[in-house]
A and B are shown apart, each in its own frame.
Chain A
Amino acid sequence: MIYLDYQATTPLAPEARDAMLPWLAGPEGMGFANPHSPHRPGRAAAAAVEFARDKVAALLPPGGRVIFTGSATEALNLALLGRNWKQVAVSTIEHAAVLDTAQASGAAVHVLETDGDGLVPGNIAIPSGTGLVAVMQVNNEIGTIQPVAAIADAAHATGALFLCDAVQGAGKLAPPEGADMIALSAHKLYGPKGIGALWLRDGIELAPLIHGGGQEGLRSGTLSPALCAGFGAAATLASARMEADASHAAALWVRARELLPDWTLNGSASQRWQGNLNLRRDGLDVARLMSDLRDIAFSAGSACASGSGRPSHVLRAIGLSDRQAKSSIRIGFGRYTAMGDLEDACARIDAAATAQGV
């Protein structure tokens, strides 16, 4: 199996796995305690959670706090539903966790269009009366890097706050400048599934969605020291390897493009995370391609929307016809992708497409 779906999820880093183990102990280790218990094992677990929080915070701007959540989806829900926003502006290429939640929130939703390269213009007009603007840092389907610092300025100029879904960018790029709230997911940066975070700039108030013991203040539910420790270790590793990971992705990208000359790139070639290659070939039957290449894990659009049969809302937003959108594939690679594996996969993907006569 050659895994080329790094936008859906990333392998768990061995370092993150190791960091989790002491907190998955049985009775012999005392590393299982509830971090909200005041006794000695509880205090040790709480210290591990705070240690991990600092490591995650190191990926984020100064002047804010990290709230651990069950996922980035929950973090985005908290940002969008934790205050009664009367009007929100969201980009047309946001993840469903933003688009659907904004629609469900009851707020008036203004959609910010992108250009044909899949970029929201930095000088985009934000309608007056908008309370919250949400634009992602890196798009999950086509990898385009949004000019979030400029959009944050535009949001602030109209008096709105700026929420950035940094799920695909965190640990790979510098944190989004000017954001007031940032959502992250551990399993997209080589950490474990089951944990995400919402970063809040100091002074920003929200109301909780999950009430209870108030463990995170804004979020209730016993925190898992194991998941926090895995997230923290993954964050530290991502910071340390940021340049190495980016140059590895860039080398893979250059080689993949050489091997796939007859394919058209979806989205900007320059303003892009290079671990994402979204390509199309007119007339391609993607379902057939996937079934011909069962031992190569790549995707057509986001994992969450797969199976729906609907053409990607992101590809339509950049001006593709339904036909073109349905003949597109996403190849995602990263830290653990070997050059030889990517070369093999590209050669086989290209040959299988050619065999379709397209």
Chain B
Amino acid sequence: MNEPPLYLDHAATTPLLPAAREAMLEGLDRWANPSSPHRAGRAARAALEDARERVKAALGWQGELVFTSGASEALAIALTRCRLAPAAVSGVEHEAVLRHAGEARKLAVDGNGLVVEPLPAGLVAIQHANNETGVVQPIDRFAEDVRAQGGLLLADCAQTAGKLSLPDADLIAISAHKFGGPIGIGALLVKDWATLRPSGGQERGYRGGTENLPGALAMAAALEQGRDWMGSAARLRERLESAITAAGGEIVAAGAQRLPTIGACRMPGVSAAAQLIRFDGMGIAVSAGSACSSGSLRISHVLGAMGMQDKAASEVIRISIGIETKDCDMGRVIAAWRKIAGKASLAA
């Protein structure tokens, strides 16, 4: 009866890749301060700059890179220190963007969660892929529109960095622990320093605080593992979603272009909270929306913006796939789904 725990919440965080852990442990032994002028400090500085170049190379990013404590901090820097004020953000952004948006206009999305409104001038923030549904926005096209008006595009790529090619945005936020690096480090990618006001301190004056060298080394190592598993993730999700659909479930934005690792699935008649308790009892970790908002009983603002009714939205869970997820894991979660849904239909 006691099956091993099955983790299918990789959009919340994903295990540290072995290469990243090794790099982190090596990094913990190189504890000198990268700003110190002595030999140990200079060696730490050289390792940090090497990690920066490796992260940029692995991402194919030609611009600048500021290491931060995570994507939330990277977004906060972009939204508060960009030379242009936030003019608009999509209605399906992560809270880390929405709560910094101030007076910025909230851009409406269609039923698939895609931004459909014309974009204004100024700083516009649109995520690459949504953290709850995986829906991918056509960022390159949005960037063209925004730039044509003299504006700048900020793309939250926390879910896609290390999985999809980076879009062509002016400012990009990423988080290491979403792609197999450690929690506690992320980065803001900056196409042109001139778009951002410095704050003083480390990272060329764009982020103060002693640098987290072990984190930076582990982040580089994680990205260098590549992303050739997206095809197999897509196949696993296809199996999962067709079985769920056959069992009476519904897939959110099934027809849209989506990140292959995230599926948002509705089980009609069973609240997400009840599903989570049942899955958890069977040793399966899934989530209702984002980890940050879970625990709160609020209805997902993402599904609401897409026009879903409150009751339907409250029945949606997120199943997210990682690099080590296997075909038999899908079998197990499908069986669990049928069990939970079946009991519900018997009760009804």
Contact = CB atoms under 8 A, between A and B. Distances in A.
Contact of B99 (A42, A194, A211): A211
A12 B41 CA distance: 15
Interface string A34-71: 10111111100000000000000000000000000111
Given A3-B40, A34-B291, A24 B324 contact: no
Tell me the interface secondary structure of chain A in the complex. Answer: loop
Interface stretch (B71-79, B116-124, B254-262): B71-79
A37 B15 CA distance: 14
B38 A290 contact: yes
Contacts of A220: 72, 95-96, 99, 292
Contacts of B322: 27
A303 B211 contact: no
Interface string A5-48: 10011111000010010001111011011101111111000000
B128 interface: no
Nearest to A304: B35
A307 to B, nearest CB: 6
A355 to B, nearest CB: 19
B51 to A, nearest CB: 13
B96 A27 contact: no
Interface size class of B (residues with CB under 8 A): 35 or more
B182 A24 contact: yes
A302 to B, nearest CB: 8
A300 interface: yes
A215 interface: yes
Most buried by A among B177, B209, B283, B295: B209
Most buried by A among B28, B38, B290: B38
A226 B16 CA distance: 11
Interface residues of A, number: 71
B75 A226 contact: no
A96 B285 contact: no
Contacts, number: 242
B70 interface: yes
A225 B183 CA distance: 8
A88 to B, nearest CB: 17
Contacts of A194: 69, 184-185, 212, 214-215
Interface stretch (B54-62, B198-206, B240-248): B198-206
B201 A100 contact: yes
Contacts of B213: 193
A119 to B, nearest CB: 26
B5 interface: yes
B280 A39 contact: yes
A193 B5 contact: no
A33 B17 contact: no
A226 B29 CA distance: 15
A184 B36 CA distance: 20
A296 to B, nearest CB: 7
Most buried by B among A12, A212, A215, A307: A212
A292 to B, nearest CB: 12
Interface string A266-293: 0000000000000000000000001000
A27 B15 contact: yes
Interface stretch (A72-80, A106-114, A313-321): A72-80
Interface string A83-101: 0000000000000110010
Given A187-B210, A304-B201, A33 B7 contact: yes
A299 B39 contact: no
B76 A210 contact: yes
B14 interface: yes
Given A37-B285, A42-B285, 6 more contacts: A33-B13, A193-B215, A194-B214, A209-B76, A212-B99, A306-B35
20 contacts: A9-B210, A12-B28, A12-B29, A26-B18, A32-B14, A37-B287, A38-B287, A40-B280, A74-B208, A97-B209, A196-B209, A212-B75, A212-B96, A214-B292, A221-B70, A221-B73, A222-B70, A303-B35, A306-B37, A307-B37
Interface of A: 1, 3, 5, 8-12, 17, 20, 24-27, 29-30, 32-34, 36-42, 69-74, 77, 96-97, 100, 104, 185, 187, 192-196, 209-215, 220-227, 290, 294-300, 303-304, 306-307
What are the 5 closest A-B residue pairs judged by CB atoms, nearest first? A213-B292, A70-B69, A71-B209, A212-B96, A211-B99
